[in-house]
């Protein structure tokens, strides 16, 4: 790290001490032109990824999947099956890589931990009164500590959108800092719930806020509101992590979640990562897909590429 | 690393004949004196087809055919029937758009992504748009005329239009010329550029397919001599030219003193102006799109970047990072961003001006990029430290070369932007609406884009101030050049 980024980093770490400093900084970020951002995202979506490039992209996308189930109806048996699938996504093909992580509610963490132990597949737990975040701070922190204690090595927290939209940036910041502390060694993914932030300017500000407060990853959505991950929102977030690393030397990961269902979609995202932040982020440590049905489509396309024939959905497990 | 495998668009959709005649009076005919030239693929220097070169006698034949069609068929035809043909042509263009896009990329060198996603949709849109005007000319704002032999109280067409178009957007420029001319009731003789005649010949086939009456559209291929013979022909009522300012000046001289009506769309040296409160990431996209779209072969290209000095370093750093992502190469690869330079002559001109930029002291930068061995290529290039006095800040390069200048105040930005003999387009990047309006009032440019660049739409008039030409194409205004108003 150069001397300038070190000093920039310490200057930026001061920002969280005052509401005014945070506001001045966040509102001083360059704006996002909605039309231009959407146009750029659409343009990146027109890349044509074929043959060897497609095979490479599919395997990378599989390794980046946070295989997720976040339902009231989840049971130990169901999440164990999901964890088994995470380890061996395609039982018919041992060359198929495992996914990046399994993502579940805190209560399900112990059951998943049994299956994943020692496998290299990470165990993510949502926490902080997911998905609304509408609980007292102590409860959110207890939620986080419980998930970590049960074996989660990644925590997906939600920000306080009410406070963010009302301009109480310090409150949001302090909550992230506290959750980071409660997470201990676990990686902290900060869910911005961009569908509720409404503007790209807000997405950029929330991204910076989350990074300044110590988030290891910024994540688009809970998947529980009507608008989940979109290409333009993810583009703005990628630009934010790129600029943040330039300013501070610290790299932060990005996780679009919700609504990414097809191989075609996943490849569009990988192209966007490649051309916006570059190969440094093309790694499961720095980019993840929060998804459930995406995995089966990736497997189907993978089988099509390796065998030349397209097998129906019945040949892939539903978990 | 994530390397994109080659994704070539198939050439098999294009059925090229080894040679093409002239399209006169509804059929392909051999040129009277038998001259011909070859059209090559600028990305490989491979010969695509042999094309007839029209001489003076062919011009005579074509103008006579156009006159006959004007007097007997197209002129007297009710607008709603002309519209029917134009709609039919527009639909055929859409149906055959893949074929036209591939051929355009082969003959011109532009990336298939652009011919497929920009040129062809705009070509069809132009025909659809002007088809709609054909029976509504009395509502175009140019007044109504007394009833005449041409049927009713509507503004009258001019007659036979001689149209000469450039090689940078061969089919789109054809559409900009032919669609309004035909909608207004004129017949046309069009000469495509000598390096890109092929899509115009395929368009001639589409006219046949649409059963367009013979002689309404005539296509004469050839070079400068053919163009000169056409615009100087006494049987022509209207001359429309898009191309260089030098040729435009010669045409204006030759037309002076005649009854011919003239519209010219000439060169440009547009300023793309970035203020310190601009949305930087989108501005960088706009800069890239402004100068590297179509290899910079765009008359309204944002070839001068004026950036406010307090954000200049940041903008340039982002711009260089973005330029490193540009994929230069095979125009038919669907992932190519920058294709081939259209001709050896154009490449020579770009090289000459770029060398002058270095010699005059500007600092040159290009991202690392492998250029193919055959064909005509020029890496995306920016010059920093450019002053108003440098040739690269004053002359139109018509290539992927951007000159970067800085400014301190909005007034200085206006002064520098306007300090050019041209005035075709300009771009403004700022988050401040009031500043956009303030700037737009002061910029002497026919088109001013705000927080975007190189946006085209058939409903929007396009044309220049000063030496960028006169007359407007597109929109309701585009009809004026083809009506006797």
- List Cβ neighbours of A31 (8 Å cut-off, separation of 6 or more): A201, B277, B278, B279, B431
Mutation site, A28, A29, A30, A201, interface B, largest B CB count within 10 A: A30
CATH number (domain holding residue A278): 3.20.20.70
CA distance A287 to chain B (A): 14
What dihedral do alpha carbons B198, B199, B202, B207 form, nearest 10°? -130
Question: For B289, which residue in chain A has the nearest alpha carbon?
Answer: A40
Q: What is the pLDDT of residues A167-191, one digit of tens each?
A: 999 999 999 999 999 999 999 999 9
A61 part of contact set with chain B, CB < 8 Å: no
Q: What is the pLDDT of residues A208-244, one digit of tens each?
A: 999 999 999 999 999 999 999 999 999 999 999 999 9
| Catalytic residue status for B300 | no
A52 vs B contacts (CB less than 8 Å): 3, 5
Task: Check CB contact under 8 Å for B2 and A270.
Answer: yes
Beta strands in A127-164 (DSSP E): 154-158
User: What pLDDT is recorded for position A12?
Assistant: 87
B450 vs A contacts (CB less than 8 Å): none
Residue B33's pLDDT band (boundaries 50, 70, 90)? Answer: confident
Number of domains in chain A: 1
Task: Tell me the percentage of chain B whose pLDDT exceeds 90.
Answer: 96
Task: Check CB contact under 8 Å for A30 and B4.
Answer: no
B10 vs A contacts (CB less than 8 Å): none
Answer whether residue A314 is part of any domain.
no
- Average pLDDT, rounded, for chain B: 96
Residue B211's pLDDT band (boundaries 50, 70, 90)? Answer: very high
Which residue among B265, B467, B473, B480 is the active-site one?
B265
CA distance B92 to chain A (A): 25
Answer whether residue A318 is part of any domain.
no
Q: What is the pLDDT of residues B272-289, one digit of tens each?
A: 999 999 999 999 999 999
At B16 the three-state DSSP class reads coil
Quickly count: other Cβ atoms within 10 Å of residue B363's Cβ.
12
Answer whether residue A58 is part of any domain.
yes
- Average pLDDT, rounded, for chain A: 95
CA distance B456 to chain A (A): 14
List all residues of chain B from 256 to 285 with a beta carbon under 8 Å from chain A: 277-283, 285
Question: For B113, which residue in chain A has the nearest alpha carbon?
Answer: A46
Whole-angstrom CA distances from B195 to B145, B342, B344 are: 42, 8, 10
Which residue among B9, B53, B104, B299 is the active-site one?
B299
- Integer Rg of chain B from CA: 22
Q: What is the pLDDT of residues B351-383, one digit of tens each?
A: 999 999 999 999 999 999 999 999 999 999 999
* d(C-alpha A66, C-alpha A124), whole Å: 8
Asked whether B106 and B98 are in contact (CB, 8 A), the reply is: no
Task: Check CB contact under 8 Å for B2 and A51.
Answer: no
Q: What is the pLDDT of residues A306-319, one digit of tens each?
A: 999 888 888 888 87
Task: Check CB contact under 8 Å for A35 and B286.
Answer: no
* d(C-alpha B83, C-alpha B131), whole Å: 5
* d(C-alpha B215, C-alpha B69), whole Å: 5
Q: What is the mean pLDDT of residues B159-176?
A: 98
Q: What is the mean pLDDT of residues B282-307?
A: 98
Interface pTM (ipTM) of the complex?
0.94
A49 vs B contacts (CB less than 8 Å): 4-5, 7
| Catalytic residue status for A224 | no
A203 vs B contacts (CB less than 8 Å): none
Task: Check CB contact under 8 Å for B451 and A48.
Answer: no
Task: Check CB contact under 8 Å for B452 and A282.
Answer: no
Task: Tell me the percentage of chain A whose pLDDT exceeds 90.
Answer: 91
Q: Which two tokens stand for residue A126?
A: 């949502």
Answer whether residue A21 is part of any domain.
yes
DSSP character at residue B150: T
The vertex-B284 CA angle with B280 and B289, nearest 5°, equals 145
Answer whether residue A205 is part of any domain.
yes
Asked whether B342 and B196 are in contact (CB, 8 A), the reply is: yes
Q: Which two tokens stand for residue A254?
A: 């990005």
Q: What is the pLDDT of residues B380-439, one digit of tens each?
A: 999 999 999 999 999 999 999 999 999 999 999 999 999 999 999 999 999 999 999 999
Residues listed for chain B: 485
B6 vs A contacts (CB less than 8 Å): 50
Question: For B280, which residue in chain A has the nearest alpha carbon?
Answer: A30
Task: Name the residue range of residue A112's domain.
Answer: 3-307
A36 part of contact set with chain B, CB < 8 Å: yes
Residue A1's pLDDT band (boundaries 50, 70, 90)? Answer: very low
Task: Check CB contact under 8 Å for A53 and B325.
Answer: no
Answer whether residue A316 is part of any domain.
no
Residue B236's pLDDT band (boundaries 50, 70, 90)? Answer: very high
Please say if the pLDDT value at position B249 is more than 50: yes
A40 part of contact set with chain B, CB < 8 Å: yes
Task: Check CB contact under 8 Å for A60 and B325.
Answer: no
Which stretches of B134-231 are DSSP H helices? Answer: 170-184, 198-209, 224-231
Task: Check CB contact under 8 Å for B452 and A35.
Answer: yes
Which residue among A180, A219, A265, A268 is the active-site one?
A219
A200 vs B contacts (CB less than 8 Å): none
Residue B150's pLDDT band (boundaries 50, 70, 90)? Answer: low
Cα-Cα-Cα-Cα dihedral sign, residues B370, B373, B375, B378 = positive
At A77 the three-state DSSP class reads helix
CA distance B283 to chain A (A): 8
Asked whether A156 and A130 are in contact (CB, 8 A), the reply is: yes
Task: Check CB contact under 8 Å for A31 and B277.
Answer: yes
* d(C-alpha B271, C-alpha B126), whole Å: 27
User: What pLDDT is recorded for position B148?
Assistant: 53
Q: What is the mean pLDDT of residues B156-178?
A: 98
What dihedral do alpha carbons A118, A122, A128, A130 form, nearest 10°? -120
Answer whether residue A315 is part of any domain.
no
Q: What is the mean pLDDT of residues A293-308?
A: 95
The vertex-A303 CA angle with A297 and A305, nearest 5°, equals 105
CA distance B241 to chain A (A): 32
Short-list B126, B298, B286, CA closest to A35: B286
Q: What is the mean pLDDT of residues A256-275?
A: 97
Instruction: Give pTM, 2 decimals.
Output: 0.95
A47 part of contact set with chain B, CB < 8 Å: yes
Of A35, A48, A54, the CB nearest to B334: A48
Task: Check CB contact under 8 Å for B451 and A35.
Answer: yes
Please say if the pLDDT value at position B343 is more than 70: yes
Answer whether residue A319 is part of any domain.
no
Q: What is the pLDDT of residues B432-476, one digit of tens each?
A: 999 999 999 999 999 999 999 999 999 999 999 999 999 999 999
B310 part of contact set with chain A, CB < 8 Å: no
The vertex-A149 CA angle with A145 and A152, nearest 5°, equals 90
* d(C-alpha B476, C-alpha B485), whole Å: 13
Task: Tell me the percentage of chain A whose pLDDT exceeds 70.
Answer: 98
B2 vs A contacts (CB less than 8 Å): 53, 56-57, 60, 270-271, 274, 279, 282
**Residue A126: which H helix or E strand, with range?**
strand A122-126
User: What pLDDT is recorded for position B204?
Assistant: 98
Q: Which two tokens stand for residue B454?
A: 């190189």
Question: For B118, which residue in chain A has the nearest alpha carbon?
Answer: A43
* d(C-alpha B55, C-alpha B119), whole Å: 30
Please say if the pLDDT value at position B147 is more than 70: no
Bridge partners for A191 per DSSP: A158, A219
């Amino acid at each position: 790290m150069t001397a300038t980024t070190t000093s920039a980093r310490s200057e930026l770490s001061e920002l969280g001490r005052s509401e005014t400093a945070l506001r001045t900084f966040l509102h001083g970020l360059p704006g996002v032109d909605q039309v231009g951002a959407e146009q750029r995202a659409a343009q990146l979506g027109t890349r044509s990824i074929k043959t060897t490039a497609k095979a490479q992209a599919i395997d990378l996308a599989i390794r980046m999947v946070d295989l997720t189930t976040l339902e009231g109806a989840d049971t130990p048996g169901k999440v164990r099956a999901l964890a088994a699938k995470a380890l061996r996504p395609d039982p018919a093909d041992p060359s198929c890589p495992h996914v990046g992580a399994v993502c579940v509610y805190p209560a399900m963490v112990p059951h998943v931990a049994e299956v994943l132990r020692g496998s290299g597949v990470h165990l993510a737990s949502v926490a902080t009164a997911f998905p609304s975040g509408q609980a007292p701070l102590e409860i959110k922190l207890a939620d986080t500590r419980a998930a970590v204690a049960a074996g989660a090595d990644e925590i997906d927290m939600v920000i306080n959108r009410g406070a963010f939209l009302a301009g109480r940036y310090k409150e949001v910041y302090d909550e992230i800092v506290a959750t980071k502390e409660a997470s201990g060694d676990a990686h902290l993914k900060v869910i911005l719930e961009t569908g509720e932030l409404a503007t790209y300017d807000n997405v950029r500000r929330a991204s910076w806020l989350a990074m300044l407060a110590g988030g290891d990853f910024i994540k688009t959505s809970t998947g529980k509101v009507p608008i989940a991950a979109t290409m333009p929102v993810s583009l703005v977030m990628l630009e934010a992590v790129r600029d943040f690393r330039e300013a501070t030397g610290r790299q932060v990961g990005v996780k679009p979640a919700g609504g990414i269902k097809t191989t075609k979609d996943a490849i569009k995202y990988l192209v966007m990562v490649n051309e916006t932040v570059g190969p440094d982020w093309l790694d499961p440590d720095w980019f993840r897909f929060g998804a459930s049905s995406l995995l089966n489509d990736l497997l189907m396309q993978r089988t099509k590429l390796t065998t030349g024939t397209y097998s129906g959905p019945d040949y892939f497990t539903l978990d | 690393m994530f390397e994109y495998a080659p994704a070539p668009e198939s050439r098999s959709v294009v059925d090229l004949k080894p040679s093409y005649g002239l399209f006169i009076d509804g059929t392909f005919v051999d040129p009277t004196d038998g001259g011909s030239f070859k059209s090559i693929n600028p990305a490989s220097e491979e010969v695509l087809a042999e094309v007839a070169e029209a001489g003076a006698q062919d011009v005579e034949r074509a103008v006579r055919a156009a006159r006959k069609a004007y007097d007997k068929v197209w002129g007297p035809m009710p607008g709603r029937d002309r519209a029917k043909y134009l709609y039919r042509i527009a639909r055929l263009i859409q149906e055959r758009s893949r074929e036209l896009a591939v051929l355009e990329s082969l003959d011109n060198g532009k990336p298939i992504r652009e011919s497929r996603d920009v040129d062809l949709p705009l070509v069809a849109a132009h025909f659809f748009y002007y088809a709609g005007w054909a029976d509504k000319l009395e509502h175009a704002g140019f007044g109504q005329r007394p009833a005449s032999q041409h049927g009713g109280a509507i503004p009258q067409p001019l007659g036979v239009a001689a149209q000469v178009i450039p090689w940078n957007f061969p089919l789109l420029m054809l559409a900009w010329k032919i669609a309004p001319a035909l909608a207004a009731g004129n017949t046309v003789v069009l000469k495509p550029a000598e390096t890109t005649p092929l899509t115009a010949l395929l368009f001639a086939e589409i006219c046949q397919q649409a059963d367009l009456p013979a002689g309404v559209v005539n296509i004469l291929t050839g070079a400068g001599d053919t163009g000169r013979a056409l615009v100087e022909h006494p049987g022509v009522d209207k001359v429309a030219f898009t191309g260089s300012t030098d040729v435009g000046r010669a045409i204006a001289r030759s037309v002076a003193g005649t009854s011919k009506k003239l519209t010219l769309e000439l060169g440009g040296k547009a300023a793309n102006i970035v203020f310190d409160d601009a949305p930087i990431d989108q501005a960088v996209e706009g800069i890239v799109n402004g100068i590297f779209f179509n290899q910079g072969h765009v008359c309204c290209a944002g070839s001068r970047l004026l950036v406010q000095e307090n954000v200049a370093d940041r903008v340039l750093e982002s711009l260089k990072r973005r330029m490193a992502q540009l994929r230069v190469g095979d125009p038919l690869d669907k992932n190519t961003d920058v294709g081939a330079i259209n001709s050896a002559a154009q490449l020579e001109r770009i090289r000459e001006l770029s060398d002058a930029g270095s010699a005059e002291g500007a600092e040159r930068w290009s991202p690392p990029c492998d250029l193919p061995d055959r064909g005509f290529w020029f890496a995306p290039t920016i010059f920093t430290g450019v002053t108003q006095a440098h040739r690269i800040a004053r002359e139109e390069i018509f290539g992927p070369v951007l000159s970067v200048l800085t400014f301190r105040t909005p007034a200085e930005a206006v002064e520098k932007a306007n300090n050019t003999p041209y005035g075709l387009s300009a771009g403004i990047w700022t988050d401040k609406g009031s500043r956009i309006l303030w700037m737009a009032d002061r910029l002497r440019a026919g088109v001013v884009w705000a927080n975007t660049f190189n946006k085209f739409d058939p409903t929007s008039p396009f044309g220049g101030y000063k030496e960028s030409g006169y007359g407007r194409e597109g929109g309701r205004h585009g009809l004026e050049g083809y009506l006797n108003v």
